Amino acid sequence: MAKYDNNFTDQLRERLSIVDVISRRVPLVKKGQNYWGCCPFHNEKTPSFSVSEDKGFFHCFGCGKHGDIISFTMESEHVDFKTAITELADMAGLKLPEYKPKTKEQIESEETYITITSDAEKIYTEKLFTPEGAHALEYIRGRGFTDEMIKKYGIGYAPKNNIISNKFTNIKQDKLISTGLVRRGEFGLYDFFRDKLMFPIFNAHGQIIAFSGRSLDGSEPKYINTSDTELFHKRQTLFGFNFARESIHRANRAIVVEGQIDAIQMQCNGFSETVAPLGTALTEDHIAILCKANRNIIFCFDGDGAGQKAAARACDIVLPFLRDNSDVRFAFVTCGKDPDEILRKSGKKEMDKIINNAMPLVDFLWKITNQNYLVNTPSGKTQAEKFLKSELEKITDKLLRAEYEHEYDSRKFNEWHKWKKKTNAQNIDVPDIELTTKNTLLFIVNKYPELAERYGDFISVFNLDFSSNVNEMNLDFSSAEKYLISLKLQKYLEKLNIKKKQLVANALKNNNSDSIKEIDKKIKEAQEKLELLLDTNDK
């Protein structure tokens, strides 16, 4: 029977978290490294259904069922393979390829491809330790690389001549070109990489699928990578992931840096959970791969404008992948340095400080918003509100999104609202307020920021310090709003009574009878509203 290309099913497994797929039908709880729930394939009261996000498999210790996202979808929804693949592709946002088998020629082509790239890596490594590659070896050793590191990561040197084109004369030209190592010119084949420090790029299984070459003469671009091929796609490949995979699992986090030298230095200096994108901005595919391994991610970028821009993009694309067990943070290396330089000059201890002081995503997104919009103006605040709203809508976990919205509502009220500026104003006529009322107002502002926003003009006249510690109170949203309305009516009644006393005192000098009647009418209306509200509270 025909089947889908293995590349596509592998792509589905890389793009989708098995926890996300299964938790749509089975409530899961994390215990240790795995997630547990009651098996959907047989009746049980004690959870024996285990899901490993890192390995991508489920296993039931009760009935013995075992499989991945595809087999789970087929069996839990009673559908065939094609229907399951279609549903998962839709969930992953991938276009379903044509339904066709993988031919014998395709399999042989892939095997030839891997053989060529593996042999090319050996050639480059040998050249690095020859007189021809002396300047490349001097450069990489000057960057703090030991011979052990060079060997582990397969670093080599591509000479100025066409060494690959000349070495693989027994391989069909089309197969050699398909690896991206050579190209066809007017006078025959020529090497794509020449006079470059070479870094092999591995897939998740440790096979060499491409190369990244660094300029040694100061020319730009500094790095060039193999163009996309049948087995290599920059948007779906993270440099160093094959080495970092187990460490990400053990460290319970991944660190993302900007370049391959940074990634290698981090891995070799105590941060083995580090990876890097390849000459492209971080993509959704990169995030999907990381989240499948672990949802705790620290993005560590340079502190310059380009690094800040890269961090902002990372923040934007990671939002749809957030779950309640995600911990995403942003660290920055300042003063024009990068992780490589920090580690070489200041050591792991200084890099630890940078990583440990990483800013949580909730704070970084808030920082971006305040930097990009003039929140002290009505139009700027409106634009900032729209930006935050559009960003938070990308969070697919509704409860988590609600928590973010609640947090930002509180920050907007405390930092953006117009009354905040009144706290330092002079000669404010602040009404007397007893301690219970003060504490109640503080609780409401911190607990229900939407109410604080709605009644901000009234609350502002009390000139309270809303950053003070607040005691918990048994006051739900509806009761809190009724409290604010009743307090507002009470203050209004106080003002009316003061005004009436003034009018009565001046009655002998001025004919204020009509004004006094109007005040009495307003007092009566306010008292009726207050009594009605208090009566409703009692019931």
Give the pLDDT of residue 6: 58
pLDDT tens digits, one per residue of 391-412: 999 998 888 999 999 999 989 8
Same domain, yes or no: 211 and 143: yes
Q: Give the range of the structural domain holding residue 125, as residue numbers without chain letter.
A: 104-232
Task: Judge whether residue 315 has pLDDT over 90.
Answer: yes
Same domain, yes or no: 85 and 108: no
Same domain, yes or no: 259 and 348: yes
State both tokens at 118.
């593996």
Same domain, yes or no: 328 and 293: yes
pLDDT interval class at 469 (50, 70, 90): low
Same domain, yes or no: 225 and 290: no
Cα–Cα distance, 275 to 247 (Å, whole number): 11
394 in a domain, yes or no? Answer: no
Domain CATH number, residue 45: 3.90.580.10
Give the pLDDT of residue 298: 97
188 in a domain, yes or no? Answer: yes
428 in a domain, yes or no? Answer: no
DSSP 3-state of 66 = strand
Residue whose token pair is 């930002």: 408
DSSP 3-state of 424 = helix
Number of domains within the chain: 4
State which H helix or E strand residue 493 sits in. helix 477-505
Same domain, yes or no: 217 and 276: no
Same domain, yes or no: 153 and 57: no
Domain CATH number, residue 285: 3.40.1360.10
Give the pLDDT of residue 158: 96
Same domain, yes or no: 18 and 42: yes
Which residues, at least 6 apart from 281, have a Cβ–Cβ distance to it below 8 Å?
310, 313
Q: How far apart are the first and last CA of the chain?
A: 71
Cα–Cα distance, 394 to 411 (Å, whole number): 20
Residue in 394, 415, 416, 392 with CA at minimum distance from that of residue 405: 392
State which H helix or E strand residue 359 sits in. strand 359-360
Domain CATH number, residue 209: 3.90.980.10
Give the pLDDT of residue 92: 78
358 in a domain, yes or no? Answer: yes
Give the pLDDT of residue 316: 94
Task: Judge whether residue 110 has pLDDT over 80.
Answer: yes
306 in a domain, yes or no? Answer: yes
State the Cα torsion 412-414-415-420 to the nearest 10°.
130
393 in a domain, yes or no? Answer: no
pLDDT tens digits, one per residue of 38-73: 998 888 888 889 998 878 889 998 888 899 999 999
Q: Can you give the pTM of this predicted structure?
A: 0.67
pLDDT interval class at 317 (50, 70, 90): very high
Residues in the chain: 539
Cα–Cα distance, 33 to 51 (Å, whole number): 9
Q: What is the mean pLDDT of the chain?
A: 85
